[in-house]
Structure 1
């Protein structure tokens, strides 16, 4: 949320246009997806309570409450809520969808 909050502040102050903010978010999504594919090799296990799920235009959206991620290194990361968006081969990012 920090990126979107910062972009909202910049739009409100007139420092950037909403169109530029959207381009920044699209580039962030693409860069993050590319980095995950190329550099992240660790497998994790996710446990939690599935609050909602949806499939629209070949894009799955899951909202998981009280999520717990267990890494291969036995490290555990907990969060109150997480939104997971999954698409085939990054199709949604390439087409500018979120």
Structure 2
């Protein structure tokens, strides 16, 4: 599985980077060690999302722009909305769905069959 640095922009990733920067500035950690920690974070988060997340959702929106470069799709959608199933198996049925709040604009980056949402 290829690893991507997309999740470094999440709250968890930014907090980790801030902590590592602080540890480097205090002499508690070398830059090489911090780099290895971030690489392990990238690998671990990709494995965790691939193995542990199995929920299915439906999303809709108006496609604003799209790009395919270096085997990476980037889609920008406007008036974005998502519906998730409350069904534990994640299969689409006529069960009750919960509505996730809408977003004016969402960027989807899909790499190697995996994707990440950025709003």
Flag whether TM exceeds 0.5 (same fold).
Answer: yes
Query: Aligned with 2:37: secondary structure?
Result: helix
Normalising by the residue count of structure 1, what TM-score does the alignment of the two structures yield? 0.58
Determine the structure 1 residue equivalent to 2:46. Answer: 33
Structure-2 separation of matches of 1:85 and 1:40: 17
Q: How many residues align?
A: 90
Where do 5+ consecutive residues of structure 1 fail to align?
A: 91-98
Would the alpha carbon gap of residues 70 and 21 (structure 1) be closer, same or farther in structure 2, given more than 3 Å must change? Answer: farther
- For the 8 Å contact 1:66–1:78, the answer to whether it is kept is yes
TM-superposed deviation, 1:86: 2.9
Q: Tell me what 1:11 maps to.
A: 24
Residues 6-64 of structure 1 show CA distances to partners (whole Å, capped at 9, x for unaligned) of: 11111111111122112111111111111111111102345678888665432345677
Higher percent of residues as helix? 1
Paired with 1:10 and 1:89, the residues of 2 have a C-alpha distance of: 35
Structure with max Cα Rg: 2
Instruction: Write out aligned runs for 1:1-98 (5 A).
Output: 1-46=14-59, 55-60=68-73, 69-73=82-86, 74=98, 76=100, 84-88=108-112
Does the aligned pair in 2 maintain the 1:70–1:77 contact within 8 Å? no
Q: Is the 8 A contact 1:69 1:77 kept in 2?
A: yes
- Could you say if the C-alpha distance between residues 44 and 31 of structure 1 is closer, same or farther in structure 2, counting changes exceeding 3 Å? same
Structural RMSD (CA): 3.4
